[in-house]
């Protein structure tokens, strides 16, 4: 097939995706391949190619030169496919049990060929349907302890870390987050989208100088603090799960940023479930506790056993670092709650509430909780205080 000998990008379709898989010798030459486009995200094409004889299958993901969620009017760099493939490979080295294997990637065609995880469900969809993932919080705590510690100045020699910072410069995708998470929802911007019943609450937010000041500081942290290689978009739509397994996918937003950003996205996206369904609150709070405890236990053990920084044995240093991550996590979670409620790219947890008045009520709670977390992040001292603050806000 000519595809990979060409110099120029071309969009795959179901037929050319299957041909590509054959050309890459991912299947036996007698394989009977079927191919279907299964992408339901905001940005990319995703094909599953399967051999009907052996049952073997792979995923071929291709970046489009624009944001699918908006259309061709929003051009987007294809370089993100290389960032994603490189990040998947690195994260798999660091936390193999939680990351799919990459079989092949090509920068020109913006494709990544990887392990098919279709025996698992997208965590957001599963959670909405009432599935339970008893190990997801433990797994995510371990995954983030490893990826955040081992890519930081504590886990790497400074020159190795700087090489990675350079490799993962990702200005266009960072700009999406800078705008859609940290800016647009706090102003009357064209990208925002919300029900008219929310306008009074939204106007309150736009005129809340305290929330805006704290959000500006969180945005500054996102812009300037190259602590660790982040996934950068770690919501429950970027996680495949079952009762026993958890896999983190889609790191196209990866870049060096503040560790608390990934941590905060995880807890905010769990919180959408607690807000949408009161009956699930205790279960979600328990997940958030487990997530933070596992993260701090694993991170502390890496700190003790694998730290490259001579100051790491200094009394109180680890505690200071974890305290900073904790307060950043809370603030970034607040921003994520707000942006997924009134900005661009909502979540099905809230938008899927059919009853209009329940949905509006849930969204108002989300906005208020988001604001509360942003402004009180410095005062909340530990995970129990965080949960009790959240409970008070969801009453």
In eight-state DSSP terms, residue 177 is: H
250 vs 349, beta carbon nearer Mg ion: 250
Using CA atoms, how far apart are residues 295 and 301, in angstroms rounded to an integer?
10
In eight-state DSSP terms, residue 40 is: -
In the range 178-197, which residues lie near ligand SR1 by CB under 6 A? 180
CB of 336 to ligand SR1, least distance (A): 9
Return the range that interacts with ligand SR1 (CB under 6 A); candidates 143-151, 174-182, 308-316, 376-384: 174-182
In the range 54-113, which residues lie near ligand SR1 by CB under 6 A? 67, 69
In the range 340-359, which residues lie near ligand SR1 by CB under 6 A? 344-345
CB of 265 to ligand SR1, least distance (A): 9
Return the range that interacts with ligand SR1 (CB under 6 A); candidates 124-132, 176-184, 198-206, 360-368: 176-184
Using CA atoms, how far apart are residues 92 and 179, in angstroms rounded to an integer?
29
41 vs 185, beta carbon nearer Mg ion: 41
Give residue for tokens 């506790």. Answer: 289
CB of 192 to ligand SR1, least distance (A): 13
> Is 225 annotated as belonging to a binding site?
no
CB of 277 to Mg ion, least distance (A): 24
> Is 230 annotated as belonging to a binding site?
no
Interior angle at CA 383, CA 382 and CA 388, nearest 5:
105
> Is 116 annotated as belonging to a binding site?
yes
Give residue for tokens 């942006």. Answer: 339
21 vs 266, beta carbon nearer ligand SR1: 266
> Is 319 annotated as belonging to a binding site?
no
Residue 390 Cα distances to 169, 179, 332, 336, 383, angstroms: 35, 26, 15, 15, 11
> Is 252 annotated as belonging to a binding site?
yes
Q: Which residues make Cβ contacts (< 8 Å) with residue 111, sequence separation at least 6?
A: 12, 20, 60, 61, 62, 63, 81, 104, 105
Using CA atoms, how far apart are residues 344 and 200, in angstroms rounded to an integer?
19
Coil, helix or strand for 230? strand
Give DSSP secondary structure letters for 285-349: HHHHHHHHHHHHHHHHHHHHHH---GGGGSTTHHHHHHHHHHHHHHHHHHHHHHHHHHSSS--HH
| Helices 356-376/383-394 angle, 10° precision | 140
CB of 175 to ligand SR1, least distance (A): 10
Using CA atoms, how far apart are residues 171 and 10, in angstroms rounded to an integer?
24
44 vs 376, beta carbon nearer ligand SR1: 44
CB of 177 to ligand SR1, least distance (A): 6
> Is 233 annotated as belonging to a binding site?
yes
Residue ranges in contact with Mg ion by CB under 5 A: 41, 250
Return the range that interacts with ligand SR1 (CB under 6 A); candidates 175-183, 221-229, 267-275, 298-306: 175-183
135 vs 348, beta carbon nearer ligand SR1: 348
Residue 25 Cα distances to 18, 21, 288, angstroms: 11, 7, 43
Closest C-alpha among 377, 387, 187 to residue 270: 387
CB of 338 to Mg ion, least distance (A): 19
Using CB under 6 A, which of 86, 106, 184, 233 touches ligand SR1?
233
State the binding partner of 232 from Mg ion, ligand SR1, none, CB within 5 to 8 A by kind.
none
Using CB under 6 A, which of 42, 77, 108, 121 touches ligand SR1?
42
Using CA atoms, how far apart are residues 201 and 312, in angstroms rounded to an integer?
45
> Is 93 annotated as belonging to a binding site?
no
49 vs 180, beta carbon nearer ligand SR1: 180
Contact 252, 238 (CB under 8 A): no
Q: Which two structure tokens, joined as six digits, stand for 131?
A: 């599935």
State the binding partner of 345 from Mg ion, ligand SR1, none, CB within 5 to 8 A by kind.
ligand SR1
Q: Does 302 interact with ligand SR1 (rule: CB under 6 A)?
A: no
CB of 142 to ligand SR1, least distance (A): 23
Residues lying near ligand SR1 in the complex (CB under 6 A): 42-43, 67, 69, 176-177, 180, 233, 344-345
Binding residues: 44, 61, 115-117, 233, 250-252, 339
């Amino acid at each position: 097939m000519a595809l990979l000998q060409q110099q120029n990008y071309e969009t795959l379709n179901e037929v050319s995706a299957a041909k590509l898989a054959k050309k890459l010798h991912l299947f036996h030459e007698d394989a009977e391949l079927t191919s279907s486009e299964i992408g339901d995200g905001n940005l990319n094409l995703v094909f599953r190619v399967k051999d009907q004889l052996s049952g073997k299958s792979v995923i071929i993901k291709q970046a489009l030169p624009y944001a699918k969620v908006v259309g061709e009017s929003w051009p987007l760099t294809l370089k993100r496919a290389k960032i994603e493939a490189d990040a998947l490979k690195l994260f798999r080295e660091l936390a193999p049990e939680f990351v799919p294997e990459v079989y092949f990637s090509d920068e020109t065609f913006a494709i990544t060929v990887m392990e098919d995880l279709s025996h698992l469900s997208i965590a957001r969809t599963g959670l909405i349907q009432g599935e339970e993932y008893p190990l997801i919080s433990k797994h995510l705590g371990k995954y983030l302890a490893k990826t955040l510690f081992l890519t930081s100045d504590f886990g790497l020699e400074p020159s190795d870390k700087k090489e990675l910072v350079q490799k993962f410069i990702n200005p266009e995708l960072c700009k999406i987050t800078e705008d859609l998470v940290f800016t647009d929802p706090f102003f009357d911007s064209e990208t925002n989208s919300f029900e008219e019943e929310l306008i009074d609450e939204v106007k309150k937010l736009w005129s809340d100088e305290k929330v805006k000041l704290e959000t500006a500081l969180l945005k500054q942290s996102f812009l300037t603090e190259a602590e660790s290689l982040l996934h950068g978009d770690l919501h429950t739509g970027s996680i495949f799960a079952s009762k026993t397994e958890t896999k983190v996918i889609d790191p196209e937003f990866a870049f060096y940023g503040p560790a608390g950003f990934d941590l905060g996205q995880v807890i905010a996206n769990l919180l959408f479930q607690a807000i949408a369904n009161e009956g699930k609150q205790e279960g979600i709070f328990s997940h958030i506790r487990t997530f933070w405890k596992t993260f701090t236990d694993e991170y502390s053990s890496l700190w003790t056993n694998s730290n490259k920084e001579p100051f790491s044995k200094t009394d109180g240093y680890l505690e200071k670092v974890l305290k900073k991550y904790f307060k950043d996590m809370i603030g970034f979670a607040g921003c994520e709650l707000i942006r997924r409620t009134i900005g661009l790219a909502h979540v099905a947890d809230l938008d899927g509430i059919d009853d209009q008045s329940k949905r509006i009520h849930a969204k108002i709670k989300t906005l208020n909780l988001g604001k509360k977390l942003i402004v009180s992040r410095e005062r909340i001292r530990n995970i129990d205080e965080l949960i009790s603050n959240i409970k008070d806000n969801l009453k």
